[in-house]
Amino acid sequence: MINLFKVKEKQRATVENANGKAPVKKQSIGELRVHKYISELNLPETCSISFPSGKDDLMNFEVTVQPDEGFYLGGKFVFTFQVSPIYPHEAPKVKCKTKVYHPNIDLEGNVCLNILREDWKPVLNINTIIYGLFHVYRQPNYEDPLNHDAASVLRDNPKLFESNVRRAMVGGHVGQTFFPRCL
């Protein structure tokens, strides 16, 4: 049996190549959504977005968060976003590239943010995630930790937690773990 769709696709590609034009890649629904949301971003002044692979790759980008208050004041934290072609039906994969002493971010960069897990809904967007990351730095949550050591210190001794955060941000050791400077 002849697959008519493949025949039509080959014919279209042949015609486009004959015209000297490269075949046009059809964008997925996820790509269209991401393009729309990025064009409508309303970021806090302390956040920025960049596209290390160029503006043609909207599905992979970086967001920098620079908290303006709280324990992490003055720090610069970079997150990578990998958006699935089936977005918004699946949350983007978000990782923190900056090693940080934080109860909601582990040493491998995994982020504990409910909207990236069980509370993800297709009505949420990139802007919502960025504001969530911004909030994680303003108000770290010791009740839902990825870094249990940091969470217990925050819960039991906030002054020691603040000291550990400062030591980590200037480039130093907290316990046996070294943190590169992020100020």
Q: What is the CATH number of the domain that holds 62?
A: 3.10.110.10
Q: In 3D, which of 106, 103, 164, 167 has the Cα closest to residue 137?
A: 103
Place of tokens 């890649």: 25
Residue 72, pLDDT > 50, answer yes
Q: What is the pLDDT of residue 32?
A: 85
**In which domain, by residue range, is 174 found?**
26-179
Q: Which residues are catalytic?
A: 112
Q: Please report whether residue 17 resides in a domain.
A: no
Longest alpha-carbon distance in the chain: 73
Q: Please report whether residue 65 resides in a domain.
A: yes
Q: What is the pLDDT of residue 42?
A: 86
How many independent structural domains does the chain possess?
Answer: 1
Q: Please report whether residue 112 resides in a domain.
A: yes
Q: What is the pLDDT of residue 2?
A: 47
Q: Please report whether residue 14 resides in a domain.
A: no
- Span of 6-10, 105-109, 115-119, 154-158 with lowest mean pLDDT: 6-10
Q: What is the pLDDT of residue 44?
A: 85
Q: What is the pLDDT of residue 58?
A: 87
Evaluate the omega torsion of the peptide bond into residue 88 and state whether it is cis, within 30 degrees of 0: yes
What's the average model confidence in pLDDT over 148-170? Answer: 97
Q: What is the pLDDT of residue 116?
A: 93
Give CA–CA dist 59/82, Å, rounded: 6
Q: Please report whether residue 12 resides in a domain.
A: no
CA atoms within 13 A on the CB side of 22: 3
Q: Please report whether residue 19 resides in a domain.
A: no
Output the CA torsion 83→48→148→141 (10° steps): -110
pTM score, whole prediction: 0.82
Q: Please report whether residue 4 resides in a domain.
A: no
Q: Please report whether residue 21 resides in a domain.
A: no
Residue 165, pLDDT > 60, answer yes
* pLDDT-derived band at 170, boundaries 50, 70, 90: very high
| Residues 6+ positions from 79 with CB-CB distance below 8 Å | 62, 63, 64, 65, 94, 95, 96, 97, 111, 133
